Structure 1
Amino acid sequence: MRRQVVASPTGWLAPFRGRIPVPRPSPGQAPPHTTEPSLTPARRRIVRSGLSLTGAAFAAVFYCLSFTPSLLPRAWSLQGVVAGITAAMGYALGAALGALCRRGWRQPTARTVRIAWSILFAVVPLLVVIFLWLGTRWQRDLRIRLGMPPAEEHDVVRTVGVSLLTFGLLLLIARLLRLSTHGCAWLFRQFVPAPAAWCAGSVVVALLAYGAVDSLLITQMFSMADRSAAVVNSGTGDGVRVPQSPLRSGGPRSLVSWDSLGRQGRAFVAGVPTGEQLTAFAGRPALEPIRLYAGLSSAYTVEERADLVVREMDRTGAFDRAVVAIITPTGTGWVDSKVPRSLEYMYSGDTALVSMQYSYLPSFFAFLGDRSEVVDAADALIGAVRERWAAMPVGERPRLLLFGESLGTYGMEKTFGTPQSLVDGADGALLLGPTFANPAHRALTEGRAEGSPVWDPDYPGLAVEFADDAAELRTLTGTRPKVVYLQNATDPVVWWSWDLLWKQPEWLNGRRAPDVTPDMHWYPGITFWQISCDLVFSNKVPTGHGHVYKSETVDGWATIAPPPGWTTADSLRLRALLDD
C-alpha cells in the first residue's frame, strides 16, 4: 500500500515532528475519514506545563539533601536559598534523565504515570517533614558545637517559604529559555531541516544565555563590586584618626600621604595600642610601635610602593627594632587588628610592622579575578625588605617574621614556591586559613607522614607545624617550628576545592577533626555546593571556627617567635585581653 505524505503544520510552540505518513486508499476504496486534530500536532505548553515526573522526584531528593549538615550552621534565609537552588539542580537533572529514558525506551503507560505520581504525593511530603525536622536538629547541634545561640523555632517556616520562591523563580527562568529555544527552532525550520533547526536554536539560546549571564550578571557583579569597593576604599572607618606620631605612615614627616593609604591602610596605622596599654600588660616601660603601610594610590607601580615602604622603614628606624614583620593582607588590604596587636603586646612595642595594599576588592573577587596581584605585591614587598635586611650584619639584624591570612597566604607561598624555601625565607612565618590553591600547603599535605590526618598533617624533617586548634601549639615539644599553619577544621576556605564535585574528601574519610560533625556525609555535587555556600557564612562564627582566627595568632606567634621569658600563662592572658 502506497503512502501519501502530509506535511505537519508548525507553530511557535509546536514540536517539529517532520512529516506524518497517512495511508493512501487502494483503487475502489473510499478514502479514510480524517480530522484536523489527527493531522496537526497539539501545541505544547512550556511555561505553564506540569512538572516532569522524574524531575519532581529528583528535586525532592535534592531538596531533602540540602538540609544535611555541612561545616557551618546557616541563617534561615541562606538555607532557604540553598534548598531552592539545590532542588532546581535536582529537577534539571531528573528532567534530563527522564527525557533520555523516554527516547531510549518505550513511553510509560498513563496508568504507570498515575501510580508514580500517587507514590510521590504520598512519600514526598512525609520525606520533607522528616528532613526539615532532622535539619533543624542538625543546625542546632552545629550551633552548640561552635558555641553559638540556637536558632528560632519558627525559622523553618521562613526557610520553606524562601526555598519554594527560589525554586519557582529558577523553574520559570529555565522554561522561558526553553520557550526561546522553540521559537528560534521554528524560525530556522523555515530554511533548514528540523534536526538542524533544533541544533541551531539550542546553540543560539545557549550563547545568548551565556552572554547575558557573563555580561549582565558576572561582569556587572564584578563591576559593581569594583565601584563599591573603590567608594569604600576612599572612606575612613569610625574612630580612625590621622596619627600624630612620626612612626606611622600618614603621620608627621611620613613619605606616604594619609589620603593615599585607603580605608584599610588608615585603619591599620591608626589601630596601635597606646603606650599605657602596652606598659600595663608587660609590667615594664614599653616602646611606641612602628606601623607602616602603602596604599594603591601611594605609588604608581607595585615595585614603587614596596620601595616606598622600605624608605619609610629607614626613616622610622624600623630595622633597629627587635622584630620586623611583613604582613600580606587580604584582598581589600585588610589586616585583622588582633594580628599586629598580639605581636606588639608580646614585644612591648619593640616592633615594626609593614604591609601593602594590592587590591580593594574582597578576597573572593580578587581570587577569582586576578591572583597575580597578590603574588606581585607579596614578591615585591618581601623581596625589598629581605634585601635590605640581608645587607645588615648577622648579629645586628632584627628578627624577620612573615604573616599571611586567606588570600595573603597564597601570595606568600607563591613568592617562595617550595616549603623548604618558605622555611628558609625568614625567622618565622605564620599562615592562617590557606586556600586550596596554595602550592606549598598542597605539597606538605600530600607528602604528610603516613597515618596523620589531612586536617592536622605531620611533616617530619621540616620545621613546619599544622594546627586545627591553636591550643595544640602550647604543648609542642622538641625543635621549635619556623612555619606554622593555623587551619580551623570548619574553615571552608581551607577545604573548598573543585574535586569535591566528584570525590569524597579525605577530611570526611576516617578520623575527623573534633569540630566536624559526625552527621556530615559526602554526596556528589551536593557537598561541593554546601561548602561553597559555607563561604558566605565563614566569617560570622566565633573565634577558632570557620574563617575566624583573631586571637589565635597569639599562640602562633608564641610558637615561632616568643620573646624571652614568654610563658603559656602569658599567652592565655593576652588572648583574654584581645578577646575582651
Structure 2
Amino acid sequence: MHRFLNYLRGFHPAGLAVALLFYTWSLTPSLLPRVWYMQALATGVSIAIGYGLGVAGARIVRWAGVSRQPSRKQQRIGWWVLAAATAILVPLFAALGAHWQHISRGLVGVESDSRMIYTVVLLLAVLVALLLIQAGRGLAALSNRPTRAGRRYVPQPVARLGGLALVLVVGWLLIDGVGIRAMLAVAERAAFSADQETREGVAQPTEPERSGSPASLQAWDSLGRDGRTFVASGPRAEQITGVTGRPAIEPIRVFAGVTSADTLPEIADGVVAELERTGAFDRSVLFVTTTTGRGWINSAAADSLEYITAGDSAIAGMQYSHLQSPLAFIADRQTPLEAGRVLLEKVYAVWSELPEAERPKLVVMGESLGSYGAQGATASEQDMVSRLDGALLIGTPEFAQPWNRITAERDPGSLQRLPVVDEGKHTRFAAEAGDLKLPGEWEQPRIVYWQHGSDPITWWSFDLLLREPDWLAEPLGEDINPAMRWLPFVTFWQVTADMAFSAGVPAGHGHAYGSEAVGILVGILDPPDWDEESTRRVETLLRDPATTLEPLGEFR
C-alpha cells in the first residue's frame, strides 16, 4: 500500500489537472458512434496526452524562472480541489458520454450499448493512460545520459530537449525500420494465406464474359479472394430484365490477380487481354476500377452499373496487394497510384485507337484507397475532363490528389464537406443523389466525388491535432451529433478511433456506400429511358437482395 501511495504521489498535479480536462473532452461525440473499446483507447490516449502537456507546461514555466513554491496549505487545498473536480467530472462525463453516444447511434441507426459499459471504458482508459505515461517516463529516463553529456556544451533546458529528441528519433527509426517491417511481414504472410481462400457461397462462373470462367485467360485460383467474389457475383442478364423490364445482355466482369504476373504492367496487360477476349470494347460503357489493396470493388456500384445499362457494360479491375487497405498504404504508398495509372494507361491505349463513334464511354471508379489510386492516373480535374467520359470516386481519403486541391479551391461560400467546383460544370460532390442537383447545367463528362459528411476516412488528417477544419466549423451533416466540437489533440484521436468502425454502420453513413450508387450513376451516365421507378426498384434490391419485386412486363 505504501508503495502504491508513493507511486500516486509521483504524479504532477498540473499534469493530472490537464489530463482530467482531456478526459472530459475525449467523451464528447465525433463523426460516428464508437464501440466501447475504441472509446476506451481514445480516452486513454487523450488522458496521457493531457498529462504530458500539463507536465510540460509546468516545466516550461519553471524553466522560464517562475519558481515560487506553494505552501503546504496551498498544496493541500489544490489537491482537494483536484480530487473534488475528479469526483464530480469523471462520473458526470461518463454519463454524458453514454448519452452522446446514444444520440449518435440513433442518428446512424445502430443499436445502443448498455450505458453501464462506461465503467469498463473508464477502467480500461486509465490502464491505457498509465501504460503510455510510463512509456513516456521511460523515454525521459533514456534521455538522461545524452542530457548529461550535452550540459557540458549547452544550457540545461536545451540539453534535455536535445536528449529527448535524440531518443525519440532513434526510437522512431528503429520502429519504422525494424518494427513496421516485421509487422508487415507477418501481416503479408497472413494476408497471402487468407487470399487463397474463397468466400462461402462463391462459385466459379461459367459465363465466358467473366474472368476465371473456363473460357478465361485468367485462372480462377489466381484471382485472389476478393477478385473471385467480384467475378462470381453481380446480376445476370435474366435478373436484370426481371428487375428493370428491359432486354438485357450478359454483363462483362474482368479481373487479374496479383499472382497472375510478376509486375503491375504485366498484370494490367492480362486485364486488357481479358477485355479484348470478352468484346468489352464493343459495350456502351467501360468501367476501369482501381481496387483497394487486395482487390475489393464496391459491389453496389458495380451492380448498379449493370442494371442501368441493361448489361451493356464491362468492368475491369486488378489486384496489386494481398494486404487490406490500411496496411497496403503503410507498406507502400506508391503502388496504389502506380496500379491506377498503369491500368488506365493500358486500357486507354486500346480505347483511344478505336473510331470515336464506336468507343464505349470510359469511366473511372475507385473507393477509399481505390479512389486514391484512381486519381493517381490523372493530374487534375481538367485532365479527367479531357481524357474520360466520367468518374465515380467514393470515400476519398483526405491525402488524395487532386481531391484535396479541388476541395481547397472550391467556389466561395460552398461547404468543405460538399464543395461546389466551377458552379458544378463538370465535377460535383454528393453524399446522396439529391446533392447532384445544382442550379447550373451539368455538362459531359461528369465527375462525382461521393462522400459522406460522417466518413472519417475522408476527414482524417494530422491537421486535426492543432487546427479546426472547415467541415467542423460549418453546419454538420444530418447524421452527425450536433454536440460535436473540434478540440485540440482530442478530435484527432476521436476521428482515428472512428475509422475502425467506419464501415460497420448502415449504408448512407460513415464509410458505408451502398444503394445510393444507383442515383449517383444515373447522374453520371444520364441514361435514356430511365425513370425514378427503375431507380427505386434497383435500390430496394441492393438494400435487401432477398426482396421479392413485382414482376415487370416488357419494357415500357
State if a TM-score over 0.5 links the two structures: yes
Candidates 477, 480, 487, aligned match of 1:513: 477
Match of 2:181 in 1: 219
Candidates 246, 249, 257, aligned match of 2:219: 257
Match of 1:464 in 2: 427
What is the rounded CA distance, in whole Å, between the counterparts of 2:482 and 2:201 in structure 1?
44
Q: Is the 8 A contact 2:235 2:303 kept in 1?
A: yes
Taking only the aligned residue pairs, the percentage that are identical comes to: 39
Over the aligned positions, Cα root-mean-square deviation in angstroms equals 2.7
Match of 2:525 in 1: 561
| TM-score, L = length of structure 2 | 0.89
Gap runs ≥5 in structure 1: 1-44
What is the rounded CA distance, in whole Å, between the counterparts of 1:199 and 1:520 in structure 2?
35
What is the rounded CA distance, in whole Å, between the counterparts of 1:322 and 1:498 in structure 2?
42
Q: Does 1:122 align with 2:84?
A: yes
| TM-score, L = length of structure 1 | 0.86
Inter-CA distance 373–129: structure 2 relative to 1 (3 Å threshold) = same
2:475 partner SS: coil
Match of 1:34 in 2: none
Candidates 36, 44, 52, aligned match of 1:92: 52
What is the rounded CA distance, in whole Å, between the counterparts of 2:389 and 2:443 in structure 1?
11
Match of 1:315 in 2: 277
Match of 1:70 in 2: 30
Candidates 431, 437, 441, aligned match of 1:478: 441
Q: CA deviation at 1:192?
A: 11
What is the rounded CA distance, in whole Å, between the counterparts of 1:475 and 1:199 in structure 2?
54
Match of 1:376 in 2: 338
Match of 1:360 in 2: 322
Candidates 140, 156, 173, aligned match of 2:118: 156
Q: CA deviation at 1:126?
A: 0.3
Query: What amino acid is the match of 2:26?
Result: S
Q: Does 1:436 align with 2:388?
A: no
Q: Is the 8 A contact 2:210 2:216 kept in 1?
A: yes
Q: Is the 8 A contact 1:405 1:431 kept in 2?
A: yes
Match of 1:578 in 2: 542
Match of 1:12 in 2: none
Inter-CA distance 111–217: structure 2 relative to 1 (3 Å threshold) = farther
What is the rounded CA distance, in whole Å, between the counterparts of 1:197 and 1:520 in structure 2?
41
Query: What amino acid is the match of 1:575?
Result: E
What is the rounded CA distance, in whole Å, between the counterparts of 1:204 and 1:47 in structure 2?
28
What is the rounded CA distance, in whole Å, between the counterparts of 1:413 and 1:274 in structure 2?
30
Q: Does 1:396 align with 2:380?
A: no
What is the rounded CA distance, in whole Å, between the counterparts of 2:147 and 2:441 in structure 1?
76
What is the rounded CA distance, in whole Å, between the counterparts of 1:204 and 1:502 in structure 2?
24
Match of 1:38 in 2: none
Query: What amino acid is the match of 1:79?
Result: Q
Q: CA deviation at 1:49?
A: 5.4
Q: Is the 8 A contact 2:31 2:455 kept in 1?
A: yes
Inter-CA distance 177–72: structure 2 relative to 1 (3 Å threshold) = same
Q: Is the 8 A contact 1:470 1:555 kept in 2?
A: yes
What is the rounded CA distance, in whole Å, between the counterparts of 1:135 and 1:547 in structure 2?
23
What is the rounded CA distance, in whole Å, between the counterparts of 2:475 and 2:44 in structure 1?
32
Inter-CA distance 120–412: structure 2 relative to 1 (3 Å threshold) = same
Q: CA deviation at 1:175?
A: 3.4
Q: Does 1:283 align with 2:238?
A: no
Match of 2:202 in 1: 240
Match of 1:13 in 2: none
Q: Does 1:525 align with 2:485?
A: no
Match of 1:503 in 2: 467
What is the rounded CA distance, in whole Å, between the counterparts of 1:342 and 1:193 in structure 2?
67
What is the rounded CA distance, in whole Å, between the counterparts of 1:46 and 1:436 in structure 2?
46
Matched length: 535
Q: CA deviation at 1:208?
A: 5.7
What is the rounded CA distance, in whole Å, between the counterparts of 1:56 and 1:424 in structure 2?
58
Query: What amino acid is the match of 2:493?
Result: W
Q: Does 1:57 align with 2:23?
A: no
Candidates 454, 461, 467, aligned match of 1:490: 454
Q: Does 1:542 align with 2:503?
A: no
Q: Is the 8 A contact 1:323 1:398 kept in 2?
A: yes
What is the rounded CA distance, in whole Å, between the counterparts of 1:297 and 1:128 in structure 2?
53
Inter-CA distance 89–193: structure 2 relative to 1 (3 Å threshold) = closer
What is the rounded CA distance, in whole Å, between the counterparts of 1:58 and 1:197 in structure 2?
26
What is the rounded CA distance, in whole Å, between the counterparts of 1:283 and 1:193 in structure 2?
82
2:288 partner SS: strand
Inter-CA distance 284–216: structure 2 relative to 1 (3 Å threshold) = same
Match of 1:105 in 2: 66
Q: CA deviation at 1:84?
A: 1.0
Bigger shift: residues 552-561 or 280-289: 280-289
2:260 partner SS: coil
Q: Is the 8 A contact 1:47 1:175 kept in 2?
A: no
Deviations 1:109-144 (A, max 9, x none): 333222211110111220122211211111111111
Query: What amino acid is the match of 2:483?
Result: D
Match of 2:413 in 1: 451
Match of 1:36 in 2: none
Q: Is the 8 A contact 2:338 2:376 kept in 1?
A: no
Q: Does 1:83 align with 2:47?
A: no
Match of 2:193 in 1: 231
Q: Which has the higher contact order (CA 8 A, sep 6+)?
A: 2
Deviations 1:358-377 (A, max 9, x none): 22222222223322111111
1:415 partner SS: coil
Q: CA deviation at 1:149?
A: 1.7
Q: CA deviation at 1:552?
A: 1.9
What is the rounded CA distance, in whole Å, between the counterparts of 2:167 and 2:336 in structure 1?
38
Gap runs ≥5 in structure 2: 545-556
Q: CA deviation at 1:338?
A: 1.7
Q: CA deviation at 1:67?
A: 0.2
Q: CA deviation at 1:504?
A: 1.1
Query: What amino acid is the match of 1:537?
Result: F
Kindly name which structure, 1 or 2, has the bigger radius of gyration based on alpha carbons. Answer: 1
Q: Is the 8 A contact 1:248 1:254 kept in 2?
A: yes
